[in-house]
Structure 1
Amino acid sequence: MLKRVFSPDFKQEESAFFMPSGAGPCRFGQYNVFHRMALDELGYSDVPIFAPNQDAEFYKDLGIVGKDFTLWSWKGIIAVELLTKCLHETRPYEKERGSADFFYQEYLKKMYSSLKGSDGKVETLLEAVRTDFENLPRYKQSKPLIGIIGEIFVRSNKFSNENLIRKVEALGGEAWLAPVEEWIYYVNYSAAQKALLKKDWSAIMNTLLTTFFQKRIEHRYAGYFKGFLKTLKEPATKEIVKKASPYLHRSFEGETILSIGKTIDLMEKGASGIVNAMPFGCMPGTIVTALMQGLKRDYGVPSINIPYDGTESPTTDIQLEAFMHQAKEYSNKVISE
């Protein structure tokens, strides 16, 4: 946010920031509060922060800025997610160092321009993304697959997680990052469950229709990568909740149940290790850390829990190295069997 504010082309009279909020004990709901304080202190009190709460009213609140915002935001989330999967599946095996990053940055810029202008060229770009990444020269070898789960922002933001995925790759692994849309589908699922309890049939219908159209866009975009991306298929929310059910009841809402369900999904799909990335002191992350002991006992797959507090620690790197050694040993054991 501050990087954008301090950029030479920032126009405060034409700008607003989007930072969804949340209820309950999670600090996620406090982010927009501190963002507001920072902007006010810098003299930008007139720049609004749009912070819809992630509950049954989420899409109603989003409608304030127009239906196009929701539609194009969703298209952007899915398109960038697929681009990111291409990067993570290709970079560990590239023959020319930096080539995968180059394509990623180039297409990220093109997608941004396309989405910003709503020109409808996103699907054309996705075709080109597949072509370029598929034709990138790479080494034919196998590396242990490492699942990255945890708090949605920390696991996805390379600054917050100290370039976790690059570190995994540098230590000889390939990362499968839990997708951003996982949380949005879960918001839909939770809203539908709550509406069902209230017998709010209108809310149920609206939520189901929203999920239907979101899924339709996702399936259409994903179609361009069938036969190329091995990490393409992600489980539905019901499937994630069901997988987590031996360890958590579905009424235990939030990121904990998603992290546990996705961990099991990754293990079943051949992951040789799981990294739980979380903010320091995060309650859902701490619960996942405790439950990981049971998962390791039942599935035998190595795991590591890394809390991030904004200060780099050499101890974390040492622990990650030890974990990657365990993951490689587990991978070799599975291959030999």
Structure 2
Amino acid sequence: MAKKTILFGGLTPTHELLMKGAVESVGYRAEFLPTPDNVSLAIGREFCNRGMCNPAYYTIGNLIKFLKQKAAEGVDVEKEYTFTTIGACGPCRFGMYESEYRHAVREAGFKNLSISILNQSKLSSEGEVELTPTLVWRLIKAVWTADIVRDIGYQLRPYEVEKGSVDKVISEYLQELYAAMKKGGKVKEILSILVKLRKSLNSLRFDYTRVKPVVSVIGEFWAHTTEGDGNYRIHRWLEEEGAEVKPEPIAGWIDYQLFMQEKKLLLEIKAKGLSYQRIKRFIAVKTASSLLRWLYNLLRGALSFRPRALPPQKYLAELAKDYYDPLVVGGEGYLEVAKHIYSVKEKKAHMVLSVKPFGCMPSTQSDGAQSKVLLDYPESIFISVETSGDGEVNVKSRIQMKLFEAKKAAEKEFEEVLEKLKLTREAFVRAFSSPELQKPFIKLSGKFAGTAARALYANFQKAYSLLPEREAEGTV
């Protein structure tokens, strides 16, 4: 077991806190890096080679900034820390990250810093951190839980009556979840804490008369996941601009990786025939995929299934196949195109925002396909933006123009629901001022993107019953 403290980072603070607990549960000491900022970007550009993408500059610069700060405090960082990151290969600069980390920390004066690599495709490790089945399972539980908690936060915050109340409750239970992960992350204990979180959220009030556009944030993995300067803090900014944000769960990426392993094994069996080893690997991948989806739904159930379900990868691949070959890998593969179509076809969002680093090759390929998607789905409100660390005003100005369209679309959708149910806007507002319809986990239904529309459609009978007779008369 390594005596050094494991440094890691690159996801959201919620994910990193729970992952820290998972890593500590197997005997390591762990510390996650702060969210990368534009100072990190500048440091990354100083010490990295030219031609790297923003995630490399931000995350590598963030590491060097942290090491320099600790060294200035008198810490012998080369003896105290080992940095752990994900490694991979493929037609993307991500495959060069390992060598770039090693090069940059040497250039910054930390030539003896230990770096451990976790290979995402082979589930193997190099360095002082051993990627055991126990650690992998505990990390999965941590990431899945963080996905669930993050999603419920983004769904509820736009409708909270008392600003900041949702974040306050969630932050309290995140500490409990961290403690649970540190003890091994027993599923029963995680579920118990999530149930307590649900009960605490249930004491808050929510105003579902706010008609807000739902914006799905997709794109390159790091760019659409981070919640800092690397994507101009786009998720919280969209909330401030009046949107409900639909973030992508990291579980969806793991689900995609397992699906691709399944596809590759089927191709191998078709080309080389059946064998014991191939059948064994195929069963293992299918079992892992089913188990992880079962766990995700189990955790969703603790929060009344309000966090969104993972869409079936087979369906996503089917949606994308006419625009992007599902067997073409690198970056997000077919996911960007599939998520866009899925959001429009299944009415999961009013607007799709694709965020990617400047010059990201796989995302650029996806953008080429998106032009055909827009021809076939003219009702789509879609915008693709590149982040470069500067140009924030220009990017946000472009997004605001599309967001205006999305707000109009959300209003139009809601008015159509009112008309269908023969209910006036005033009667809707009056009915939903009742405490019974201001709960966080009220029923939502109907093939509508907007939360207000889904809340009304699912609860209109109750809404009628809560209206004074003179208002409800003639509405059904």
Aligned counterpart for 1:135 among listed residues 175, 181, 203: 203
* Number of residue-to-residue matches in the alignment: 333
Instruction: Work out the CA distance in 1 between the residues paired with 2:386 and 2:117.
Output: 26
How far did 1:43 drift?
Answer: 5.2
SS in 1 for 2:232: coil
Q: Residue 162 of structure 2 is aligned with which of 96, 103, 106?
A: 96
The whole-number CA distance in structure 2 between the counterparts of 1:17 and 1:324 is 40
How many angstroms apart in 1 are the aligned matches of 2:315 and 2:83? 34
* Amino acid aligned to 1:258: L
Letter in 1 for 2:208: K
2:359 match: secondary structure: coil
Q: Does 1:329 align with 2:408?
A: yes
- How far did 1:98 drift? 1.8
Instruction: State whether residues 219 and 355 of structure 2, in contact with CA within 8 Å, keep that contact through their aligned partners in structure 1.
Output: yes
2:90 to 16, 19, 24: 24
Map of 2:192 onto structure 1: 124
Percent of matched pairs sharing the same residue: 24
In 2, distance between residues paired with 1:94 and 1:4?
Answer: 36
Report deviation, 1:4. 5.6
- Does 2:305 match 1:237? no
Question: Are 1:286 and 2:364 an aligned pair?
Answer: yes
Structure 1 counterpart of 2:294: 216
Residues 178 and 262 in structure 1, CA contact (< 8 A), matched pair in contact too: no
Residue 152 (structure 2) pairs with residue 83 (structure 1) = no
Quote how far apart the aligned CAs of 1:330 are: 2.0
**Alignment pair present for 1:264 and 2:341:** yes
Give 2:227's match in structure 1, choosing from 133, 143, 158.
158
* TM superposition shift of 1:271: 1.2
Distance 2:310 2:170 in 1: 21
How far residue 46 of structure 1 moved from its aligned partner, in angstroms, is 4.7
Of 146, 167, 172, which residue of structure 2 is paired with 1:106? 172
Which residue number corresponds to residue 178 of structure 1? Answer: 248
Letter in 2 for 1:195: L
Alignment CA distance shift 1:297-1:328 (3 Å): farther
Of the three residues 318, 326, 332, the one matched with 1:250 is 326
Q: 1:65 aligns to what SS in structure 2?
A: coil
Q: Is the 2:224–2:356 contact (alpha carbons within 8 Å) kept by the matching residues of 1?
A: yes
Provide the C-alpha distance between the structure 2 equivalents of 1:122 and 1:44, rounded to a whole number of angstroms. 39
The CA deviation at 1:174 is 0.4
SS of 1:140's equivalent in the other structure is coil
- Report 1:278-317 matches (<5 A): 278-299=356-377, 300-317=379-396
**Distance change (3 Å), C-alpha of 1:95 and 1:311:** same
Shift of 1:17: 3.2
Moved more, 266-275 or 74-83: 266-275
Unaligned runs of 5+ in 2: 1-32, 34-62, 270-277, 417-476
Query: Do the aligned partners of 2:198 and 2:302 also contact (CA within 8 Å) in 1?
Result: yes
- Deviation of the 1:11 alpha carbon: 7.2
The separation in 2 between residues aligned to 1:53 and 1:119, in whole angstroms, is 23
Q: CA separation in 2, counterparts of 1:19 and 1:79?
A: 21
Letter in 2 for 1:176: K
Which string of whole-angstrom CA distances, capped at 9 and with x for unpartnered residues, describes residues 64-96 of structure 1? 432111011000111000100111011111222
CA separation of 1:310/1:192 partners in 2, compared to 1, >3 Å: closer, same or farther?
A: same
Residue 131 of structure 1: CA displacement? 2.0
C-alpha distance in 1, partners of 2:179/2:66? 17
2:438 maps to none
Give me the whole-angstrom Cα distance separating, in 1, the residues matched to 2:405 and 2:396. Answer: 14
Instruction: Point out where structure 1 has 5 or more consecutive residues left out of the alignment.
Output: none
Structure-2 separation of matches of 1:45 and 1:286: 35
Shift of 1:298: 2.6
Find out whether 1:115 has 2:181 as its counterpart.
Answer: yes
Distance 1:118 1:325 in 2: 46
The Cα shift of 1:319 comes to: 0.9
Contact 2:324 2:369 in 1 (8 A): no
With the length of structure 1 as denominator, give the TM-score of the two structures: 0.89
Cα distance in 2 for partners of 1:119, 1:233 equals 22
TM-score, normalization: structure 2?
Answer: 0.64
Instruction: Say which one has the larger Rg.
Output: 2
